[in-house]
Chains A and B, each alone.
Chain A
Amino acid sequence: MLMNTPRTVDIEVTTHCNLRCRYCYFFNNPAVDYRELPTDEWLKFFDELGSLGVMNVVLAGGEPFIRDDLPILLEGIIRNRMRFSFLSNGTLIDDKIADFIAGTHRCEYIQVSVDGSCAKIHDSCRGKGSFARAIRGIRTLQRHRINVAVRVTIHRNNVTDLENIAHFLLEELNIPSFGTNSAGYLGTCRLNAEDVMLNIQERQLAMTTLLHLAEKYPGRISATAGPLYEGKEWRRMEDARTQGAPIFSNGGRLTGCGCPSNKITVRADGAIIPCAMLAHDELGRINQDSLEGIWKKSPALTQLRNRHTIPLNKFKFCADCSYIPYCTGNCPGLAYTITGEINHPSPDACLRRFSEAGGIMS
């Protein structure tokens, strides 16, 4: 049953960033109006979120720490009895803001992106000097006892550095755990796809290495998408297929995403969208449309939530595929950017396509 209001609201609080990463999903999306709202618009919206009992606000961007009114925004979140998290590149975090955040006792976590075990690899896609500043940001957060989450985005330049990255993050920086994904065909990444996105062999290498590292560091490396996730899921699908196992409870239909039932996203210009991966899909505007109304009644959102009823065998793309009973069709955002349709399996995470292109499950 659908909950009355979202528990979490993701907010792209700025369109600005001090970096220009080569695989950024955020910039260069033709559907997005790169305009941002003034402080009081956000404060008004936080009052609405508070009245709806929203529990968490995730501040992303661009780079959220670039906003100099950040303390005022955080006070608005706190006043409305919510907690907050950040998705950040870490480079703008200093003692002053860390001290402020620690003092609120409301910070769930700050996720910082680290894509290499050394400056040469991290900076290859994120720009010169970004590694040193991200690590300084992480150490600042650690000194202030703020929960740090690290995200590693895997691409062509760091796929052979994964062992070193795991060692660096888990053993040298003493991060409790980190998450992984891979450069996805969205935003700026589309323009640099050839140079940054993993090819079949690299994807296979990433999967094998990450599965091995996940065993070496139990419970400390996670993924909800990308090579580690695929490595685990595809192995399960392959085992089920060879054993003729019964259909998975979430298999055979487009069940690949549960996000629209738990959370919703707001773009920097105030457009309400289902998620950052579906930035074109405007459901309404903050402070003009009721968030509760959109949550409960938006036809586009309802359609997205009902995506799970669509069987995979209806798609020509999946015709005669023996993985159908075990496949979820995966992310609608990637399905949309690649095929132009939300109600379609994502070709990016298609096991049959991976195998046909020469990919081998380890």
Chain B
Amino acid sequence: MNQIDRPITNPIVVLREESDDWAILFNPDTANAVGINPVGVAVWKMIDGKRRIKDIVLEIKASFKNASESAFEEISSFVDTLAKHNYVGYELKTTTIVE
């Protein structure tokens, strides 16, 4: 088995859009919650198991005019943090070993 680079959201996590500039990701199983800004919300909505991080970055740059030069690093680290806390995961690809 090896990991691929297309993150996918944990289906149990709820995106709660509290207002135009503030949202919460809430895991009802653990009661953990984290606050995110509008870029975070847009990233979250693109984490669908199909897009790679670099695809997400391109789309964010296209829709947020003031996205910074370091968007790739920022978004990668954001997704890594979410992964560390089980808000997102990576699908596993199965490799069949033939003897």
Which residues of A line the B interface, CB within 8 A?
1-5, 7, 53, 55, 78, 81-83, 105-106, 108
Closest Cβ of chain A to B97, distance in Å, is 36
- Name which residue of chain A comes closest to B27, CB basis: A81
Complex: chain B residue closest to A77, CB-CB: B28
Q: A78-B28, A81-B14, A83-B31 are in contact. List 4 more A-B contacts (CB 8 A).
A: A53-B16, A55-B28, A81-B12, A81-B28
Measured in the bound complex, the distance between the Cα atoms of B14 and A82 in whole Å is: 9
B 1-43 to A, binary, CB cutoff 8 A, 1 in contact else 0: 0000000000010111111000010101101010000000000
Contact A53 B15 (CB under 8 A): yes
- Rank and list the top 5 A-B pairs by shortest CB-CB distance, nearest first: A53-B16, A3-B18, A81-B14, A81-B28, A83-B28
Interface residues of B (CB under 8 A from A): 12, 14-19, 24, 26, 28-29, 31, 33
Residues from chain B with a CB closer than 8 A to the CB of A81 are: 12, 14, 28
State the CA gap A3–B20 with chains docked (Å): 9
Tell me the nearest residue of chain B to A78, going by C-beta: B28
Report chain A residues within 8 Å CB of B12: 81
B29 lies within 8 A of A55 (CB): no
Closest chain A CB from B11 CB (angstroms):
9
Q: Chain B residues near A3 (CB, 8 Å)?
A: 18-19
Q: Could you say which of B17, B19, B29, B31 contacts A53, with CB atoms under 8 Å apart?
A: B17
> Are B28 and A1 closer than 8 Å at their CB atoms?
no
| Contact across chains for B29 and A4 when beta carbons are under 8 A apart | no
Tell me which residues across on chain A come within 8 A of B17, comparing CB atoms.
4, 53
Docked Cα-Cα span, A12 to B15, in Å, equals 27
Listed by A's residue number, 14 A-B pairs whose Cβ atoms lie within 8 Å are A2-B19, A3-B18, A3-B19, A7-B16, A53-B15, A53-B26, A55-B14, A55-B16, A55-B24, A55-B26, A78-B28, A81-B12, A81-B14, A83-B28
Give the residue name and chain of the B residue nearest to A104 (CB).
B29
Rounded to whole angstroms, the CA-CA distance of A48 and B19 in the bound complex is 19
In the assembled complex, the Cα of A55 lies from the Cα of B31 at a distance in Å of: 9
Q: Which residues of A contact B19 (CB under 8 A)?
A: 1-4
Residue of A whose beta carbon sits closest to that of B17: A4
Minimum C-beta distance from B86 to chain A (A): 14
CA distance A83 to B26 in the complex (A): 10
- Among B12, B16, B17, B33, chain A packs the most CB atoms within 10 A around the CB of B16
